[in-house]
Structure 1
């Protein structure tokens, strides 16, 4: 499967089978996150891997996780995040997102489905899992075997803006809002 096919195959799954994810597949997904590029190679991501029922229940107090059998709480370590010196922009969120994207696509390649979750109670999550002050949750990637119908790869023709509305060559010219 080529990359574009893989990217089009991925969809946000919100219904999972009650099946565990095999250790080999989970390790493959985590390895994809480990090798993801980060600013200045500082690797500020810290990923909390949750599979035990009691921990998934604790997580569900902070976020809707759709009864997925695996949740990856992707955090940034504020002490390790690169800061662009010219304007002070901190890149931990960007790095954590790159790591998440790598893991999400690796899960798809392994026959797993996932959904990227940004709507969660960060305070509750930090309390429930005793996260240290330097760790800030950025997103949650839940995954498992989808119980819904896979989405058509043709959906991108209708659901995505045309290339010319989001990509500009050499200058922005007139940007449509």
Structure 2
């Protein structure tokens, strides 16, 4: 599959089959996050892989949607600010780096026929409690990971000329 086709195929999956994700596919998805570019190659993130079976109610305290726990796995991308690069003006890149890693993970999952859904609007305190992360590790993003069992919603995109500011465009 061409890269542009993968980008066009990706959508926020809000329904999953109970079919397990093969170990080889999970490793490939996780490796895609590892290979993501980060500022000064600091890789200031951690990934937590959670098996949903038997933990549905606990995980719903983090994000209550039924489909969140339908997938066999949920992945949390955590930011580790103390390990990240900070620009001279004080701008820390931990959130950017973690987001890039999650995006690589999601695109690799799409190429492998797996579904994901980028989740940032979750209960942070519940996530900290359920995942038992140390104080210096911040749960930043979640995604279920599994085989899709829902069709994409018709989400439109802005036209390119609405997004690009270039005098030569």
TM-score of the aligned structures, taking structure 1 as reference length: 0.87
- Which consecutive segments of 4 or more residues in structure 1 shift more than 6 A? none
1:93 to 92, 95, 98: 95
Asked if 1:78 is matched to 2:81, the reply is yes
Gaps of 5+ in 2: none
**1:160 pairs with 2:163:** no
Q: Using the alignment, how far apart are the partners of 1:75 and 1:106 within structure 2?
A: 19
Residue 58 of structure 1: how far off its partner (Å): 2.5
Q: Secondary structure at the match of 1:165?
A: helix
CA 1:101–1:46 in structure 2 vs 1: closer, same or farther (change >3 Å)?
same
1:75 to partner: Cα distance = 0.4
What secondary structure is seen at the aligned counterpart in 1 of 2:117? Answer: strand
Question: Structure 1: 5+ residue runs without aligned partners?
Answer: 172-177
Q: Is the Cα contact below 8 Å between 1:56 and 1:71 reproduced in 2?
A: no
Structure 1 residues 20, 74: CA separation in 2 closer, same or farther (over 3 Å shift)? same
The aligned residue for residue 18 of structure 2 is 18
RMSD value over aligned CA atoms? 1.9
Count of aligned pairs between the two proteins: 166
Give the TM-score normalised by the residue count of structure 2: 0.91
Tell me which residue corresponds to 2:9.
9
1:1-177 → structure 2 map (5 Å cutoff):
1-64=1-64, 65-85=68-88, 87-149=89-151, 151=152, 159-170=156-167
Instruction: Tell me which structure has the larger Cα radius of gyration.
Output: 1
